[in-house]
Chains A and B, each alone.
Chain A
Amino acid sequence: MLVPIFFIILSIVGFYFSGLTGDFVFQQMILRLARNLVLVMSLMIPIISGMGLNFGIVLGAMAGQIGIIVIMNNGYTGFNGFLIAVLVATPIAIILGYLVGKILNKAKGKEMITSMILGFFANGIYQLIFIIFAGTLIPFKNKDLLRSSGDGLRNTIDLISIKSSLDNLLFPNSPYPIMTFVVIILLFVGIYLILKTKVGQEMRAVGQSMHIASVSGIDVDKTRIIAIIISTVLAAWGQLIYLQNMGTFNTYNNHEQVGLFAVASILIGGASVNKVSWKEVVLGTFLFHLLFIVSPLAGQNIAGDAQIGEYFRVFIAYGVIGVALILHSWEENKKKSLNLNFDLNNS
């Protein structure tokens, strides 16, 4: 509980110095929770399956973005457009998740660094497709998506035609994204139910010890691939929810930060590399984004330069992940050496 408490204090101090009103912060937090919870949630299952923090959700986010690009190209709008984007993104996410799972199975014990490099690699492929091939090798119907030179997607794409299509479904005049929260709750229940099934139990068993799991007849590799597929699909949906809430789409930057922000959020919430529940997801997303809102203004008011607050925010995101990883492997190593001493004393 130490990490969340530290960040609660930091947020309160930041809030005090930012000079923002409680009302404004509350409004912003509701929006940001709706936007980001599914992306953070997508990290849960790999953690439970003992694969650590899945930085590979970047690939899921890309699948979501491909869904968006397809509907924008074909001119689908509103909630129907959003649904079609989900239908396009899901199979892509399943395929990508399968590939990520395959690769991570070849790098057991080094899942985190591998999934991170995989994210960078996939980003290169994504740029190759949408900067170089789009408009040249891949024909586009909607020329507004392309740069004026006719090749490569624009840096920002306006999503006004699907903005808030899920948020305001059934409640068109509400200032709050009610339907999105309904979906988020349903997904949390869904994860809870998955973990109750046989596959879910197997995931927990694999997370405890791959060796014991495989001795008791569980197909470890298959279970791990399923975990990553679920994570990738959730990330794709999460990115779609994020984009329909934002209403604009930074073609080449939106997905890059997804892994970093989601991982930092879940760790701030008090999750560790191998233990997590929905409470950490919600608390962590809340605290991380609270810090996000208050730190530039607090930086400006304390140091006289908003840029410093901005740097500080990035530093916090990286620093949290770094410190959490250090503390985790430190504890693991202590446990290991304790066990070793215990064995030696007994023998």
Chain B
Amino acid sequence: MMSIKKTYEKIGFPRLIIIVFIIVLLVAAASLKIPLSGIYSDILIRFGMNAILVLAMVPAIKSGIGLNFNLPLGVIFGLFGALVSMELGLHGWTSLFASLLIAVPLATCGGYLYGLMLNKVKGQEMTVGNYVGFSIVSFMCIVWTIAPFKSPELVWAMGGTGLRTTVSLENTMEKILDNFLSFKLFNVTIPTGLLLSVGLLSFLFWFFTKTKSGIAMEVAGSNENFAVSNGVDVNKERIKGTVLSTVLGAIGIIIYSQSFGFLQLYNAPLYVAMPAVASILIGGATVSHAKISHVLIGTLLFQSVLVIALPVINIISEGSMSEIVRVIVSNGIILYALTRSGGVE
């Protein structure tokens, strides 16, 4: 009995539910004769697409600002970088690296300013972050409408002002990472480049947490008084965490978009934080504690549910169901985490 209870505690209630759900879905998929190899490929691709956006949550949680609901901030910079690289008429790898080169410094500045602000609102970072994110997205809607982009791939051909709602990346960097060194294994396509970039960024971040700077950030997040007594500048460490999270958000959306094949502008970044937050929480993180393993496990589980649910649900019911399942699962998980850590800190 004890060992069952221990395993249960180790896996945790939400993950248990998700795993059971995935198994049910897999059985359903098999009995409905849905080809599983396609599903596995999709899971790998969607895992790679989303993992970096989820990774962006880790520095925020570690530095003590909690779940970064202001992920749209970083995403906006990433989109902006990609747009500028397209406006310059770049293609292929140059376009990918140019996007990153433009987006990362901007995200650093933006994250720095946002971090300064978060230091003034300690205790309410999540609520404030959410609304700051919403405000920025709606402000950028105005910017996208009036920004002086000229490239015909970016602006409406006729009968509209400003940038298109979705910009195709077909001629620039669509699937450039996905196809890099990709190969087939038992009919399952392995998007090597995509997974490698996730691995690389995870490793770099893991390495950072082992450096003096990374440890200082973690100390600031785990116990403010202890950090102060050890001479750690808590406010500075929190800004560091915010900047890292914003930069990862920017990189994350570029990698997401190159795999998706489109840049989604206007209201699309509004709810980008929700799936990322839900993923890391499914992975076992809490609002005050997160590791890279939480990112990898959480993204894999969350994306698996969505990928397997889609074809199964489409056969049993109609299209909108999978979207509804996504809303219920992701928000249910976030709710669970918020109520679990309970109490006034």
Contacts and interface: CB of A to CB of B under 8 A. Distances in A.
A179 B146 CA distance: 46
A117 B335 contact: yes
B188 interface: no
B130 A124 contact: no
A285 interface: no
Interface stretch (A84-92, A182-190, A237-245, A307-315): A307-315
A118 B335 contact: yes
14 contacts: A103-B339, A110-B338, A112-B127, A113-B127, A114-B339, A117-B334, A117-B338, A120-B331, A121-B331, A124-B331, A127-B320, A307-B145, A315-B139, A325-B128
Contacts of B331: 117-118, 120-121, 124
A121 B128 contact: no
Given A108-B342, A121-B332, A329-B128, A318 B123 contact: no
Interface string A71-95: 0000000000000000000000000
Q: Which of A108, A113, A329 has the most CB of B within 10 A?
A: A113
Contacts of B328: 121, 124-125, 128
B141 interface: yes
Interface in B118-132: 120-124, 126-128, 130-132
A121 B324 CA distance: 10
Interface of B: 69, 117, 120-124, 126-128, 130-132, 134-135, 137-139, 141-142, 145-146, 161, 274, 317-318, 320-321, 324, 327-328, 331-332, 334-335, 338-340, 342-345
Interface of B is mostly: helix
A147 B339 CA distance: 38
Interface string A97-112: 0000001001111101
A114 B335 contact: yes
Given A308-B142, A329-B122, A116 B127 contact: yes
Q: Which of A106, A107, A322 has the most CB of B within 10 A?
A: A322
B319 to A, nearest CB: 10
B327 A132 contact: no
Interface residues of A, number: 42
A103 B131 CA distance: 22
Contact of B145 (A308, A318, A322): A308
A113 B277 CA distance: 13
B122 A311 contact: no
A326 interface: yes
Nearest to B266: A311
Given A103-B339, A128-B328, A315 B138 contact: yes
Nearest to A110: B338
Nearest to A109: B344
B126 A305 contact: no
A315 B338 contact: no
Contact of B134 (A107, A128, A318, A330): A318
Q: Which of A125, A151, A210, A311 has the most CB of B within 10 A?
A: A311
Given A128-B328, A312-B142, 13 more contacts: A109-B344, A110-B338, A113-B127, A114-B339, A118-B335, A121-B332, A132-B320, A132-B321, A315-B141, A315-B142, A321-B134, A329-B124, A333-B121
Contacts of A125: 328
Contact of A108 (B130, B134, B320, B344): B344
B121 A325 contact: yes
A194 interface: no
A107 B131 CA distance: 19
Contacts of A322: 128, 131-132, 134-135
A12 interface: no
B86 to A, nearest CB: 23
Contacts of B318: 132, 151
A319 interface: yes
The 5 closest A-B pairs by CB, nearest first: A124-B327, A322-B131, A124-B328, A121-B331, A106-B339
A309 B141 CA distance: 11
A151 B318 CA distance: 10
B338 A114 contact: yes
A212 interface: no
Contacts of A103: 335, 339
Nearest to A119: B331
A13 interface: no
B343 A109 contact: yes
A215 to B, nearest CB: 15
B324 A319 contact: no
A219 interface: no
A123 interface: yes
A131 interface: yes
B135 A319 contact: yes
Contacts of B334: 117
A144 interface: no
B146 A303 contact: yes
B139 A319 contact: yes
A132 B317 contact: yes
Contacts of B338: 107, 110, 113-114, 117
Q: Which of A108, A112, A131, A326 has the most CB of B within 10 A?
A: A326
B186 to A, nearest CB: 35
B328 to A, nearest CB: 4
A269 to B, nearest CB: 17
A338 to B, nearest CB: 14
B138 A121 contact: no
A322 B139 CA distance: 13
Nearest to A151: B318
Contacts of B320: 127, 131-132
A124 B278 CA distance: 15
Contacts of B327: 120-121, 123-124, 127
Nearest to A121: B331
B339 to A, nearest CB: 4
Contacts of B274: 120
Given A120-B331, A124-B331, A303-B146, A318 B138 contact: yes
Nearest to B328: A124
A2 B146 CA distance: 30
A121 B121 contact: no
Nearest to B145: A308
A326 B120 contact: yes
Nearest to A102: B339
